Amino acid sequence: MLQINGLFKEYKTGEGVVTAIQDLNLTVQKGEFVCLVGPSGCGKSTLLNIVADLDTPSKGETIKEKKCGLMFQDPTLFPWLKVKDNVAFGLKMTGMDKEEINKKVDYYLDLVRLKEFKNAYPHELSGGMKQRIALIRMLIMEPEILLMDEPFGSLDAQTREDLYAILQNIWLKNKKTVLFVTHNVREAVCLGDRVVVMTARPGKIKKEFIITLPRPRELSDMEVIKMSNIIKEELRNEIQQVIKETEHYEKKII
Amino acid sequence: MKRKLFDFLNFFILFTVLTAVWWFLYLLKIWPSWVLPSPWSVFAKIFSGLADFSLVSGMFISLGRVIFGFSLSFIFGTLIGFLISKNIWLKTYFKPLILGLQTLPSICWLPLALLWFGLNEKAIIFVVIMGTVLSVTISVESAIANISSNYIKAGLILGANKINLYKYIIFPAILPSYINAARQGWSFAWRSLMSGEMLFITVGLGQLLMFGRELNDMSQVMAVMIVIIIVGAFFDQAIFAGIEKRIRLKWGLTNR
């Protein structure tokens, strides 16, 4: 389970104090897949960094199981390591026996159908392949909570669909707790049990939608499209507000 | 293989053309031969210098010095670079000082070195180190500062502790820039050494160059200059460029 209580995050800038996140409360049940949707700049990534202990909140707390896995928009595979060593990196840090690591690496590479690339270097893989490796580099640590920061944001449509299927399959098998950040509403509806809509600066939660559609879902399912249209309407006002704010800010600079 | 042969042929043609132009200018007799000697007399000087071992011994003495000075600079430069990158206090107050000192041409350290160490080997090595260590420090520091923060985040989230973070993330991540730092350091060291060697009895290539001047022997001057360029470029190309290329290929930063 993941619990975020009364979270604030403030930054000091030349202009004064900017509130990135304001009084955010969110509970993700064990085994629940929650998608966090909001316009860009609403503090989604900041929130994930705080949950992953890579950043500290100004106020408030997060209560969670110990082991978190984090996936970025950029695969951030280590270019100096072969694919298999990238996947094995976390386990090596734990000092696990080599034989056992190799077995696990093979198992997970098989899971995303990339076994034949184990001795390749990251630059030899396509964008989708890299993100698949990033996914299993996280999963191999068997984290209790998966934090995903727009992991498929930079992929083409077809590769993305492929990854939705892979992710749903894996999730249906072991039901991890997932907090998935995206600005793509249809993606959120396609993947999540619950879609949480965030407001623009300062980021807080505006509304939640429970998605009960049967799994596995596809992006092109009629129900998914319908549901996402409802949520998009909700978000539209938010986006308008960001545009207004940016214009206001730009005027101030000029 | 074919590529290499092609590169070599290109280089050979370039060399031939340059020599031909040089010879042509010499034949025009615009300048007296003590200003512009013929290429053949310069090449003859190189061969005679190699044959009577004066150039060979000068080369080895200079190489010994540069390798010693460069290695020390490289070790200290790396250590200082890592220290500065780790410590915010050093970064704020010490880094501007280093950047300032780096603008001082290395030969300007020589008077100080002569007073401190006297007319000897130590003074020369000191000049080489002062000309090299700061450039390595600055390169290492900026390489660490420029590591993508996501690599560090990924390392931390995958459970790397402080030591492992340096060993498995930070050091490999700066490797391409690090090799480049070494390469740049090498050329700084070589240049500092040559300017240092010219100023007193040092039996290195720099002094052979100065001998040429004292004897009004332009062929000798140009012969030694060519040897200095060849030695410097050989190490740059054969060692550093080779390592750099292998890393860049592995990382997918280049195709060839």
Report angle CA A236, A237, A241 to the nearest 5 degrees.
Answer: 115
Neighbours of B94 (CB within 10 A): 16
Q: Do B157 and A69 touch (CB under 8 A)?
A: yes
Q: Which amino acid is at B247?
A: I
Q: Do A93 and B159 touch (CB under 8 A)?
A: yes
Q: Give the CATH number, domain containing residue B235.
A: 1.10.3720.10
Average the pLDDT over B34-46 and give the result. Answer: 90
Which among B159, B161, B172 is the nearest to A90, CB-wise?
B159
Say if B36 falls within a structural domain.
no
If you search the block for the tokens 């990251």, which residue do you land on? A122
**Mutation site for A-interface testing, chosen from B153, B158, B174 by largest number of A Cβ within 10 Å:** B158
Say if B37 falls within a structural domain.
no
Say if B224 falls within a structural domain.
yes
- B156 contacts on A by Cβ (under 8 Å): 54
| CB within 8 Å of B244: residues ≥ 6 apart | B176, B179, B180, B183
Question: What is the total count of domains within chain B?
Answer: 1
Which among A76, A122, A124 is the nearest to B154, CB-wise?
A76
Q: Which domain holds residue B211?
A: 42-251
Nearest to B37 by CA among B211, B224, B208, B217: B217
Alpha-carbon distance of B53 to A99, in angstroms, equals: 58
Summarize pLDDT for A162-221 with one digit per residue, the tens.
Answer: 888 888 888 888 888 899 998 888 888 888 889 988 877 677 777 888 888 887 888 888
Going by DSSP bridges, is the β-strand pair A68-71/A145-149 parallel, antiparallel, or unpaired?
Answer: parallel
- B151 contacts on A by Cβ (under 8 Å): 76, 78
pLDDT at B126: 94
Average the pLDDT over B86-97 and give the result. Answer: 88
> What is the predicted ipTM?
0.82
Neighbours of B221 (CB within 10 A): 21
Q: Do B150 and A124 touch (CB under 8 A)?
A: no
Residue A254 has pLDDT above 60, yes or no: no
pLDDT interval class at B222 (50, 70, 90): very high
Residue A230 has pLDDT above 90, yes or no: no
pLDDT at A231: 83
Yes or no: say if B192 and B206 are a contact pair by the CB < 8 Å rule: no
Which among B150, B160, B164 is the nearest to A72, CB-wise?
B150
Q: Which amino acid is at B178?
A: Y
Give the domain ranges of chain A. 2-67+146-253, 74-142
Class of domain A2-67+146-253: alpha beta
Summarize pLDDT for A76-103 with one digit per residue, the tens.
Answer: 999 999 999 999 999 899 888 899 899 9
**Mutation site for A-interface testing, chosen from B148, B157, B178, B243 by largest number of A Cβ within 10 Å:** B157
pLDDT at B255: 66
Going from the C-alpha of B97 to that of each of A31, B84, B90, B102, B137, the distances in angstroms are 55, 12, 10, 9, 12
Q: Do B164 and A122 touch (CB under 8 A)?
A: no
Q: In the Cβ-directed half-sphere of B164, how many Cα atoms lie within 13 Å? A: 15
The radius of gyration computed from the CA coordinates of chain A, to the nearest angstrom, equals 19
Summarize pLDDT for A122-157 with one digit per residue, the tens.
Answer: 999 988 899 999 999 998 988 888 999 888 888 888
Summarize pLDDT for B181-207 with one digit per residue, the tens.
Answer: 999 999 999 999 998 888 877 788 988
Alpha-carbon distance of B186 to B235, in angstroms, equals: 8
Neighbours of A187 (CB within 10 A): 22
pLDDT at B138: 93
Residue A245 has pLDDT above 70, yes or no: no
Summarize pLDDT for A49-69 with one digit per residue, the tens.
Answer: 888 888 888 888 888 877 788
Average the pLDDT over B208-235 and give the result. Answer: 90
Q: Do A68 and B157 touch (CB under 8 A)?
A: yes
Q: A42-63: buried (b, 16+ CB within 10 Å) or exposed (e) per residue? A: bbbbbbbbbbbebeebeebebe
If you search the block for the tokens 């998914």, which residue do you land on? A224
pLDDT interval class at A243 (50, 70, 90): low
Say if B188 falls within a structural domain.
yes
